[in-house]
């Protein structure tokens, strides 16, 4: 008569890799696994191994939480079958039901190198924690309580098409990142954006090269700028513009505000965003969209 051993319940902590413009969210195949409970299984030759994820689609940030700016966690419990597929997936916990459903939908398509029990492929129950972070563009929309990023109802005019100089009411007032300390990092960040018929700034994007640590504070400053509402032929219009924000350490003259303005292009931008000195974190900042939306990008869920 064969003696009975145990099928373990394990918790997986999967590694993440960064995708430009997207919150780091792709699970790696070499994830550490911790056994936390044993369940009965038949014995065999002595060799045990935990399942190893090899195909890990990431959950999208839940649409029902768009522009909420909410971050959260969800843990999904599944049985990894002897053939490496997933079965019996259930939500173990979730900070919001929407996070749980998004993680559950994604994990059903995961594939594993099956776990071993006594040298043979065996079913193992695992718990997979996921962390969700709102895409950075949605963090902006939530923080400013308006659509900083989104589709425009009509094309934006170029400066040439508008035919007049945009008038700034409130200039950019950048805050130098505290985490840079006495590093001495300083520089200019050129930001392209669209001025709405109400004089608000929307859809900012970086043009040209910029120091990564200075991009987020520059964008935050530009989003807070206001303009005299642009009017053409008696009608409020959307107008493309650019401005250059200068940042340098507080020990030197700081916050010269914005330079330029009123000129814009339809080209794409580049650069990267990260940091939390201005109340934002994670995600990526990219170009594109011609002022019609876009700039930031990314889905919002990743395994922890």
In a domain, 78, yes or no: yes
pLDDT averaged over the chain?
Answer: 76
Q: Which of 15-24, 232-241, 292-301 has the highest mean pLDDT?
A: 232-241
Angle at 196 between CA 193 and CA 199, to 5 degrees: 100
In a domain, 304, yes or no: no
**The whole model's pTM is what?**
0.64
Q: 150 and 113, same structural domain?
A: no
Rounded average pLDDT over 117-127: 91
45 Cβ contact partners less than 8 Å away, ≥ 6 residues apart: 118, 119, 120
**Residue where one domain finishes, among candidates 103, 132, 161:** 132
Q: 141 and 125, same structural domain?
A: no
pLDDT at residue 54, rounded to an integer: 95
pLDDT at residue 296, rounded to an integer: 32
User: Which is more confidently placed, 225 or 301?
Assistant: 225
In a domain, 283, yes or no: yes
In a domain, 169, yes or no: yes
Q: 217 and 100, same structural domain?
A: no
Q: 177 and 251, same structural domain?
A: yes
In a domain, 183, yes or no: yes
pLDDT at residue 236, rounded to an integer: 97
**pLDDT, tens digit (0-9, with 9 covering 90-100), for 134-191:** 999 999 999 999 999 999 999 999 999 999 999 999 998 899 988 888 788 999 999 9
**Residue where one domain finishes, among candidates 78, 108, 132:** 132
- Which structural domain range is residue 65 located in? 4-132
289 vs 155: CA distance, rounded Å: 11
Residue 193 has pLDDT above 70, yes or no: yes
**Do residues 15 and 28 lie in contact, with contact meaning Cβ atoms separated by under 8 Å?**
yes
Q: 260 and 200, same structural domain?
A: yes
Cα 40 from chain centre = 41
Q: 80 and 20, same structural domain?
A: yes
Q: 268 and 156, same structural domain?
A: yes
**pLDDT, tens digit (0-9, with 9 covering 90-100), for 57-92:** 999 999 999 999 999 999 999 999 999 999 999 999
**Residue where one domain finishes, among candidates 106, 132, 158:** 132
User: Which is more confidently placed, 4 or 200?
Assistant: 200
Rounded average pLDDT over 33-53: 59
- Percent of the chain exceeding pLDDT 90 equals 60
In a domain, 303, yes or no: no
Q: 151 and 82, same structural domain?
A: no
What's the CATH code of the domain at 198? 3.30.2420.10
Q: 61 and 185, same structural domain?
A: no
Q: 108 and 50, same structural domain?
A: yes
Q: Provide the number of structural domains found in the chain.
A: 2
Structure token digits, residue 98: 């929407």
Q: 175 and 94, same structural domain?
A: no
pLDDT at residue 122, rounded to an integer: 92
Q: 158 and 100, same structural domain?
A: no
250 Cβ contact partners less than 8 Å away, ≥ 6 residues apart: 176
């Amino acid at each position: 008569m064969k003696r009975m051993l145990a099928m373990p319940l394990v918790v997986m902590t999967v590694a993440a890799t960064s995708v430009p413009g997207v919150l780091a969210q792709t699970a790696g195949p070499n994830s550490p696994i911790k056994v936390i409970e044993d369940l009965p299984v038949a014995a065999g030759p002595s060799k045990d191994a935990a399942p190893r994820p090899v195909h890990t689609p990431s959950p999208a940030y839940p649409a029902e939480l768009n522009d909420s700016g909410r971050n959260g966690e969800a843990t999904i419990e599944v049985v990894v079958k002897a053939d490496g597929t997933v079965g019996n997936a259930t939500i173990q916990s979730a900070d919001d039901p929407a996070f749980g459903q998004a993680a559950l939908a994604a994990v059903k398509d995961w594939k594993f190198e099956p776990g071993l029990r006594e040298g043979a492929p065996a079913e193992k129950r695992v718990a997979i924690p996921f962390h969700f972070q709102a895409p950075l563009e949605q963090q902006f929309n939530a923080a400013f309580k308006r659509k900083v990023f989104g589709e425009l109802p009509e094309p934006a005019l170029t400066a040439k098409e508008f035919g007049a100089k945009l008038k700034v009411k409130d200039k950019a007032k950048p805050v130098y990142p505290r985490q840079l300390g006495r590093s001495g990092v300083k520089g200019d960040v050129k930001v392209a954006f669209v001025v709405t018929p109400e004089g608000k700034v929307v859809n900012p994007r970086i043009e040209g090269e910029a120091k990564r640590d200075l991009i987020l504070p520059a964008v935050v400053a530009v989003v807070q700028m206001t303009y005299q509402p642009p009017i053409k032929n008696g009608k409020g219009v959307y107008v493309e513009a650019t401005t250059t924000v200068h940042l340098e350490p507080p020990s030197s003259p700081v916050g010269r505000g914005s330079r330029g303005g009123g000129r814009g292009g339809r080209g794409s931008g580049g650069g990267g965003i990260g940091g939390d000195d201005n109340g934002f974190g994670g995600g990526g900042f990219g170009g594109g969209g011609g002022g019609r939306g876009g700039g930031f990008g990314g889905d919002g869920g990743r395994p922890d």
